[in-house]
Structure 1
Amino acid sequence: MKTMILTNVNWMNETNISVLAGDAVQAEADAVVVIATKKQWEQGTHVVPGAKLVQQAVQCGLFDGIKTQSFPTGSDKAPVLIAVGHSNDVLTIADIRIMMVQAAKEALKARAKRVAIVVPQQSDSMKFTGSLAEAGHAIIEGFLLGAYQRVTYKRDAKPPHGFEQLTVYGADDALEQVEQGATRGKAYALGTTLARDLTNLPGNVLYPSKMAEVAQDLAHTFGFEVHILDEHQAEAKGMGGLIGVGKGSVNPPRMIVLKYQGKEEWNDVYGLVGKGITFDTGGISIKPSANMEQMICDMGGAGTMLGAMVTIGHLRPKANVLCVIASAENMPAGNALKPGDVITSYSGRTIEVINTDAEGRLVLADAMTYAKELGATKLIDAATLTGAVTVALGDFTTGVVTNDEALMQQLTTASKRTGEYVWQLPSHQEYWDLLKSEVADVRNSCGRAGGTITAGLFVGTFADGLPWVHLDIAATAFLNKARGVDPKGGTGAMVRTIAEMITSEA
């Protein structure tokens, strides 16, 4: 991939991951990561260079046996031991993922290029839930997610520190399972990283035609089919939502399509629909200036769906997937959309524009109809759609609106495996009724009350009865402070859950 946008993805792609039989004693690396319980570090049961130093540090109160910490080993073979501790004797897969995030941050501090990771062994003093494949997945996924570094534009900025080699050591009888898990873990991390990189890009670097170039790069890399509609083609088709939102900008809109066919017949097709507003001023209904710079993240839904396509491209599941991105820049101008305007969507429905800052749902309306036309049989859309979702759920949980309980259950099951929180909001008929307009088929804003629900249902109107799930990632796609597996800035929210839905079913 040639574009500068994919800096972190490039170094991850170049990282060689191998799974070998052995233990920490055999490891030759710049840093060795060993997971143990607090009790094991206290007792010094690990035979590994530096273990005695860790035990002494625990005894002296310089290491609590829980938080991740680096120790010099005095060995040329493996000069740094990254001791990863835990207070419980039973580790969950989520615990392992977070521990590896912490280990990666220590490896970055040590500027390690080659890292050896020892798979925790089931024993009387430590057990973990889940399979060895799941453990291998969590180890690589967690380490690579924890190693993420946001690209900056400072004059003296250095490129992100990359890892040349990650070697996972495990028992002979576990290697195949761990290797399978590690392959999936890397693919999930690569997809999430692409979404993070895209979400962090300034609006003068990422705009609709540049997002189309990224999609073309992905198509070339993974063999996807791709086609792009420019503003003239979209207007000729009658995509009034996309054209209406984008017409106030000097950067014209794009409708972007990627197609992956993993089955012989083009049926049972997931339609992944992403909101790609590369910058959102609010248009004529202009936003307050405070924190408007964060509106570079308003294409987070597009980032999520393109990230999911990266994971799918690596894993090649037996599934059919269509990705449709509606990308525009929402700017105020003499020809911009105005409150009170009535536009005609690609579906033929007319829309009364109450608020031009409710623009994401307008471009998604056309994208949903287009995905259905191209063969999608079930739809998942992701969008940084409403500020109201933050009020409802904070920045911990993605809000969900759906018309199909089976698809919702599939999403919930996947989210529990990935550790991403989702919460289903109600969709009673009374909420649907709020969308009615006196002068058009629907209106694009129903006021503050229930705003996340009505915004989601507006998008769902254009599913036209197909099974559909809407993900409002406005709170989870971009964080002001790092937390768990997520860095400050773009998080790549829901990439892993969507990928898990599709690949686990396949």
Structure 2
Amino acid sequence: MVKDDLETNLHIIERDPGDNAAEVLQRVNADALVLLLAPEELNDALQEWLPSLLAAEVSAMLERGQFAAGLGQAEVLPTLGLLPCRSLVLSGLGRAAASTDAWRDAGVYAARAALARGLERLAAPLPRAAAAGAAAVPLGERVHALAEGLLLGGYRMPSYAAAAQPPVPALREVALIADQATLAALGGGSAASALAQPLEAARALAVATQYARDLTNLPGNVLVPDTLAQEAARVASQYGMACTVLDEAAIVEHGMGGLHAVGKGSINPPRMITIRYQGTDSWDNVVGLVGKGITFDTGGISLKKPDGMEEMISDMGGAAVLLGLLHAVGRLKPKINLVIVIPTAENMPSGAAFKPGDVIKMMSGHTVEVLNTDAEGRIVLGDGITYAKQLGATRIVDVATLTGAVLVSFADVATGAVANDEALQQEILHAAKQAGEKVWPFPNYPEYHEMLKSDVADIKNAASRDRWAGSITGGLFIGFFAGDTPWLHLDTGGTAWLWNDRGTEPKGGTGTMVRTLAHWLCSSQM
């Protein structure tokens, strides 16, 4: 399934007093020196790290307007033997150099620019406590953001091409250079020891996000419900977590009528995956995470238009986020209790497929009137929510590529959220801000619940005017099964997949919400 790729060697070296840049770089054996620069500190950085001829060339670039240290600007120059590395990478921090987002984003752009030139081993000075405007953000947070950005920028989409192609460069090594000012800001001692926690957190979040991207990018003929279940069991075993998989017969036995109905139209039968992580002595205060695992979505009988349907390999993006999150939880080991539930199926049209007008009995005992078989994700998540509660979850967050309607509200820029609990919502919004991911809440008004009332069942799976408030009503359908349990829904229908690179996010699967949930669950380990 997902190949365990080469993991980047991320480490710190300390710059001895009196060492010039060349002496430091000789110890690292890097392909490139990476300088992350804010406009107000350009001159100081050039004088400190570059020989006069190279500094003069960069100054000339500034005068010509080729580089102004703006966020998103990255340039690669040959060093022509003036430094003991092949290239110099300049990446702008912009005017918001104090923010962790700026350091993370500049790291992504730097790594991308380097890999585009085949530069696989990078050396980058760490942020300084004395950097202009940076005092408001703790040094450890900026170091975390820089390391995370460099690692995220090293992502490579897998290729299945049979023809000979140039090998895609891999980011093999990142050496972060701590100078005397950094050491002083850390209170002396070893920089590697002092920064071990933020660096390990950065590595864990990057690995988790890259994994989620790879899983989302798998073709639909490779990833079906059973192979997703096998992959979940493999990752859980890697970290010593318990994984249980219900097959199609057990799904029926458990009364999971929603998952059964959605999955019965495919020759690849559905699965219900659960993973349990216990980080405290007693199994209480359990967080439930439920992820949509539709490995391919044709829309079923309510067939989608063919244009762009290939994107529906990403309809298991919620499941990918939660399995990616396992890498962060397994490495950082937060003192929490967690149950992950992933209902997985293919939504296909066939003689056995469920139909508009069907009435389905869910695991909760409630009935659902089906108006649209392309609104299948919320149905399987309804059973997932009920199962999570049965397994002890006292608070629940679900993640799903739920609606196209979220694109109308936010395009592919932000993830939508709807919740029944304000405190939980504020926790997730805070975590998203820490992670540098964009989440915006939808309202939860009684009028939206009214839109889901059915004449023949407890609830219908789409509002009659399904173009009205589609993201809100889709989320509230799931919330119906949460009942009084604190619950929040994240709609990644616009953010889990991109048709082209946008900003720091790659083309294809993005892994959006892995880092938000990791900040929420693992903040004490960062």
Q: Which position in structure 2 is the counterpart of 1:403?
A: 420
Asked whether the 8 Å contact 2:94–2:102 carries over to 1, the reply is: no
1:35, 1:79 → 2: CA distance? Answer: 18
Q: Specify the code of the residue in structure 2 equivalent to 1:22.
A: R
CA drift at 1:123 = 3.3
2:52, 2:136 → 1: CA distance? Answer: 25
Q: Which position in structure 2 is the counterpart of 1:276?
A: 293
Aligned positions of 1:445-456 closer than 5 A: 445-446=462-463, 447-456=466-475
Indicate the SS of the match to 2:220.
coil
Q: Specify the code of the residue in structure 1 equivalent to 2:95.
A: N
CA drift at 1:505 = 5.9
1:275, 1:44 → 2: CA distance? Answer: 47
1:103 aligns with 2:110: yes
Indicate the SS of the match to 1:47.
helix
1:16 aligns with 2:9: yes
2:475, 2:429 → 1: CA distance? Answer: 18
Asked whether the 8 Å contact 2:341–2:384 carries over to 1, the reply is: yes
The superposition leaves residues 282-324 of structure 1 with CA deviations (integer Å, 9 ceiling, x where unpaired) of: 0000001111111111111111111112111111111111111
1:216, 1:381 → 2: CA distance? Answer: 20
1:71 to 74, 77, 101: 77
TM-score (norm 2): 0.91
Q: Specify the code of the residue in structure 2 equivalent to 1:64.
A: F
1:461 aligns with 2:455: no
Q: Which position in structure 1 is the counterpart of 2:352?
A: 335
Q: Specify the code of the residue in structure 2 equivalent to 1:161.
A: P
Over 3 Å counting, the alpha-carbon distance change for 1:51 and 1:144 in structure 2 is farther
Q: Which position in structure 1 is the counterpart of 2:213?
A: 196
1:490 aligns with 2:509: yes
Aligned positions of 1:383-398 closer than 5 A: 383-398=400-415
The superposition leaves residues 418-456 of structure 1 with CA deviations (integer Å, 9 ceiling, x where unpaired) of: 111111111111211222111111111112211111110
Query: Structure 2 unaligned runs (5+)?
Result: none
Q: Specify the code of the residue in structure 1 equivalent to 2:158.
A: V
Asked whether the 8 Å contact 2:286–2:338 carries over to 1, the reply is: yes
2:239 to 193, 199, 222: 222
CA drift at 1:495 = 0.7
Asked whether the 8 Å contact 2:97–2:103 carries over to 1, the reply is: no
1:472 aligns with 2:491: yes
Q: How many residue pairs were aligned?
A: 499
The superposition leaves residues 213-236 of structure 1 with CA deviations (integer Å, 9 ceiling, x where unpaired) of: 111111121111101001111111
Indicate the SS of the match to 2:512.
coil
Asked whether the 8 Å contact 1:272–1:381 carries over to 2, the reply is: yes
Q: Specify the code of the residue in structure 2 equivalent to 1:30.
A: D
The superposition leaves residues 448-471 of structure 1 with CA deviations (integer Å, 9 ceiling, x where unpaired) of: 211111110110111121110000
TM-score (norm 1): 0.94
Q: Specify the code of the residue in structure 2 equivalent to 1:417.
A: Q
Over 3 Å counting, the alpha-carbon distance change for 1:292 and 1:44 in structure 2 is closer
Over 3 Å counting, the alpha-carbon distance change for 1:89 and 1:336 in structure 2 is closer
1:84, 1:393 → 2: CA distance? Answer: 29
1:249 aligns with 2:274: no
CA drift at 1:49 = 4.3
Over 3 Å counting, the alpha-carbon distance change for 1:452 and 1:262 in structure 2 is same
Over 3 Å counting, the alpha-carbon distance change for 1:90 and 1:362 in structure 2 is closer
Farther-moved stretch of structure 1 (77-86 vs 130-139): 77-86
Query: What's the C-alpha RMSD, in Å, of the aligned pairs?
Result: 1.9
CA drift at 1:113 = 3.0
Q: Which position in structure 2 is the counterpart of 1:151?
A: 158
1:6 aligns with 2:3: yes
1:288, 1:19 → 2: CA distance? Answer: 51
Query: Structure 1 unaligned runs (5+)?
Result: none
1:160, 1:153 → 2: CA distance? Answer: 13
2:251 to 217, 224, 234: 234
2:377, 2:214 → 1: CA distance? Answer: 21
Q: Specify the code of the residue in structure 2 equivalent to 1:65.
A: A
Indicate the SS of the match to 2:49.
coil
2:142 to 124, 135, 146: 135
Farther-moved stretch of structure 1 (56-65 vs 242-251): 56-65
Aligned positions of 1:317-396 closer than 5 A: 317-396=334-413
CA drift at 1:117 = 1.6
Indicate the SS of the match to 1:409.
helix
CA drift at 1:51 = 6.5
Q: Specify the code of the residue in structure 1 equivalent to 2:514.
A: V
The superposition leaves residues 351-383 of structure 1 with CA deviations (integer Å, 9 ceiling, x where unpaired) of: 111110000011001111111111111000000
CA drift at 1:55 = 3.5
Indicate the SS of the match to 1:182.
helix
